[in-house]
Amino acid sequence: MTECAVTETGLDAQVAALAARPFDLTRDLPVRARLFVLGPDDVVLALVVHHISVDGRSMGPLIRDLVTAYLACRSGSALEWSPLPVTYTDYTLWKHAQLGEFTDEWSRATHQLRYWANALAGRPALLDLPAQEQQSPPIDPGAGALLPFSFDPGTHARLLRLAQDRRASLFMVLQAAFAVTVGAFARSADVTVATAVSGRDHRLLDDLVGNFSDDVLMRVRLDRAGDVDELIDQVRRVALNAYAHPDTPNPRLKRCLLQDAALPLFQATLILQRRPAPRSTTEPTPAQGFSITEVPTGVVRAKHDLEFGLTDHYDPHGAPAGIDGSFIYPIARFDEQTAQRFLARFRAVVGLLADGYRGPLPALLATAGRRGQLSAARRAARVLV
């Protein structure tokens, strides 16, 4: 770990530069750290970790271990770790034994690969999403922008009632709305979207730092759903099948599909979390004598064309308290107006489902389009005022 002195005004640029620098995994460790010293009692520790090394649920134990190590070093006491019952190596060996080899036609690995090859056969290799012209000079393809949005507790409660009526989950209802919006945006009735699965299917893995998560694909055939109820039923079946086959590596799957391996398996993803990841904050106490505050990096990286991250919130009594989230998109592909138009359409579709619309999908899209245009016009008016 390197250390450097920095002024408060120069901190953001220094952290952003550290976060934006790519990893060369042929020679670099998948984690880098730098300590920025603002003053005698004010420092910023910046950690940049490659996504192959950690997932979202790793941040809790990682921050806890950093605080434990810091307190031991600060007090001059010996650092004592409680031994974990399993290691990441144990997990990888167990997973390999569970899945077997792809060369074995009866193995679980082969069974899952066969499922995906059949489920995705004949789908459009690439969604025709609207895009702006190439910029000169070229923009970093990974550079992104973020649009926050939210749904109020009333909408949240009505979506939960819809999910219960259709024997589905809140995620499945939101995924149905997302597929409809992506299909309209790409002018396609055959849409493949993705979500993440945690991969931590045993409590012994809770305290491990590592990447257990993976993406699963959901192919939604909008032309095979006569109305909203049929669409949600289809999404429920597709999601449950995807959750039952979560272990096929994307590079292996690409080699089994009749498409250019350079094309992405998916361009749109929606993830719903029950609660936000543990925050790296600790209240100052006399015993510790310090506090930890999270510092935004200001760096937004877009891994996919359309990337939605949602969190549903509940009050202490378990009542729905609203849904919030962010839409991340690559600025090299979409301008802000196009991104706002997609977000407005998604919000309108979700609102219509929450308000009880159960009719045909074309009418849903037409009404959502009018609502989205009205919402965009109101936002523009607020900006002008």
pLDDT of residue 239: 96
Burial class (CB in 10 A: 0-12, 13-18, 19+), 142: middle
How far apart (Å, rounded) are the C-alpha atoms in residues 124 and 324?
A: 31
pLDDT of residue 288: 57
pLDDT of residue 378: 56
- Return averaged pLDDT per consecutive 10 residues of the chain, 385 residues in all: 83 85 86 88 86 84 86 83 87 91 91 93 88 73 90 97 96 96 93 90 86 90 94 97 90 84 89 62 50 76 92 91 94 91 95 94 82 58 45
Q: What is the pTM of this model?
A: 0.85
How far apart (Å, rounded) are the C-alpha atoms in residues 43 and 327?
A: 31
CB 293, CB 329: distance < 8 Å: no
CA distances from 183 to 65, 149, 259 (A): 44, 21, 20
Q: What is the DSSP string of 252-278?
A: HHHHHSSS-TTS-S-SEEEEEESSPPP
